[in-house]
Structure 1
Amino acid sequence: MRSPLALVRDAQPDAAHNEGTYDTLEYLVGVNLARLRAERQLSLDALARASGVSRAMLAQVESARSVPSIKVLCKVAAALKVSVSAFLRRHAVNGFEHLPAERAPRLVSADGRYSARALYPDGQPAAAEFHELRIAPLHTEVGVRRPPGTTVNLVVSEGTLEVSVHDRRQLLATGDAIVFDADQPHSLRNPGDTEARVFRVTLNAETPPRWDVPAAAGTAVSAGTDEAVAAQPA
């Protein structure tokens, strides 16, 4: 009997899975199903009995010959005790992914007074971005304008923060939060005498590339902005 891991390697039944097509839905679901089954040391027959999905169907899914319906995926997910999303991911495939702080890359400004650490898997395109920001006392960080429809949600974990959007300013104390449209000129200033720690969630706009704000539109990018920082280890 072939192992599930062998099925992962062989989940390319014909030329339909040659170079350039490994990101197809069939391949992604098949590889994840085979891996999850192998981790649980379940045979196809055992998984078929647990899920109520036929062995033949499971074999077709694992070999990337068939894309299962949502109903079938729900049955298999329940039997494997994972989310349906686990079959569609290239990360957090067991429903979670540990991101150790000591291995997380940080974006640090040239003067070292501002840093941003991504709190989501590196290199993964995301509709939402989650960052931890650290801002030195009396430092002002000019924000990078994003496409229209992009929103930013900030919450202050430690210290104080002054957020400027156009000519309006809002002072935030520890625990305070603010939401604003990120296509506007904005900046973050730490008015206190201790480092400010802030968590930022950016909800990216679902707009075509033509909405990107051009650099010539008057957006100032200082040496301390997100686009001017260099990656450094945590």
Structure 2
Amino acid sequence: MHSPLALVRDPAAEAAALSAHQGTHFVHDGSRSNESFDTLEHLVGVNLARLRAERQLSLDALARASGVSRAMLAQIESARSVPSIKVLCKVAAALKVSVSAFLRRHALNGFEHLPADRAARVVSADGRYSARSLYPDAEPAAAEFHELRIAPLHTEPGTRRAPGTTVNLVVSEGTLEVSVHEQRQLLATGDAIVFDADQPYSLRNPGDTEARAFRVTLNAETPPRWDVPPETLRHAAERVADAGR
């Protein structure tokens, strides 16, 4: 039986999330607007300045270590220029970090603490199922990480996601029965399963104690070739129709 879910949040967590992201606007509609590029410039610049400050390096010192000019580094930090991947690789090597460190939306200290008592939780109406976010969920993410708790003999239907979405689940305590379409798989403590999340599935705890599991959801990415304007598709269809006459 489907159980309605409610989102439970701590007001302090909401305030902290808002404060952490205040002043920065991220675009998620897939558009390639100037605003999205401005955001990227700002994000890279802030992270470069933070990483350089943490290592107590001057612009001149980082320029010597990376082979990137002082002027270019200053432009990047002031969000006046988006560096190429080649430039970022040189700077990352000098700072001994991954290139992806420049694209993180973490707090200024380089990480984001997620206290358990402030985490966002999705709880079923009867309280027999809950999912706790283990990742910053203020922004859309390519991967989602949740801790699940399922009461004895409770069945929780899964939410179908877009085609291409994958779920990787591991049981940390108890047992779980995962049903995907008509197939069922019983998982003991330590067992894991991977399945496509665009199909009907459910999680059932057949035991007499609470079951816990960790779920990683890898969200689908739409290939660029799918992002085709409607008028382009219409023109293509017209050309095919003309060719067949």
TM-score range, shorter chain: 0.7 to 0.9
TM superposition score normalised by structure 2: 0.70
Q: 1:34 aligned to 2:34?
A: no
Q: Which residue number in structure 1 is paired with residue 203 of structure 2? A: 188
Aligned equivalent of 1:67, options 82, 101, 124: 82
Please give the per-residue CA displacement for 1:60-105, whole angstroms capped at 9, x wherever unaligned: 2112222222222122122223221111121277765432323322
One-letter identity of the residue aligned with 1:73: L
Classify 1:138/1:23 alpha carbon distance in 2 versus 1 (closer, same or farther; 3 Å). farther
Question: Displacement of 1:27 after TM fit?
Answer: 2.2
Instruction: Encode CA deviations 1:101-134: one digit per residue, 9 max, x unaligned.
Output: 2332221111111110111112121122111100
Distance 1:50 1:108 in 2: 51
TM-score of the two chains, using structure 1 as the length reference:
0.73
| Structure 2: gaps (5+ residues) | 1-22, 24-33, 224-245
Is contact 1:86-1:93 (8 Å) kept?
A: no
**How has the CA–CA distance of structure 1 residues 21 and 69 changed in structure 2, closer, same or farther, with 3 Å as cutoff?**
closer
DSSP-derived class of the 1:24 partner: helix
Equivalent residue, structure 2, for 1:80: 95
Deviates further, 113-122 or 89-98: 89-98
| Structural mapping, 1:23-172, within 5 Å | 23-91=38-106, 96-172=111-187
* Partner secondary structure for residue 162 of structure 2: coil
Answer whether contact 1:48 1:54 (CA < 8 A) is retained: yes
Give the 3 Å change call, closer, same or farther, for CA 78–200 of structure 1 in structure 2.
same
Per the alignment, residue 200 of structure 1 pairs with 215
Point out the more displaced range, 30-39 or 160-169: 30-39
Which amino acid is the alignment partner of residue 74 of structure 2?
A: A
Aligned counterpart, 1:230: none
Q: Which has the higher helix share?
A: 2
Q: Unaligned regions of 5+ residues in structure 1, if any? A: 1-8, 10-18, 209-234
Amino acid in structure 1 at the alignment position of 2:117:
E
| Secondary structure, aligned partner of 1:130 | strand
Structure 1 residue 23 displacement after superposition: 4.4
Deviation larger for 97-106 or 178-187:
97-106
The answer as to whether partners of 1:82 and 1:95 remain within 8 angstroms in 2 is no
Q: In 2, are the aligned partners of 1:60 and 1:66 still within 8 Å (CA)?
A: yes
Deviates more, 1:182-191 or 1:22-31: 22-31
The amino acid that maps onto 1:119 is L
Question: In 2, Cα distance between the equivalents of 1:165 and 1:133?
Answer: 18
Whether the aligned pair in 1 keeps the contact of 2:50 and 2:108 (CA below 8 Å) is no
Amino acid at match of 1:167: E
- Matched residues in 2 for 1:127 and 1:60: separation? 29
Kindly report structure 1 stretches of 4+ aligned residues shifted beyond 6 Å. Answer: 92-95
**1:168 offset after TM fit, Å?**
1.7
Residue in 1 that maps onto 2:189: 174
Cα distance change on mapping 1:206 and 1:20 into 2, 3 Å: closer
Q: Displacement of 1:192 after TM fit? A: 0.3
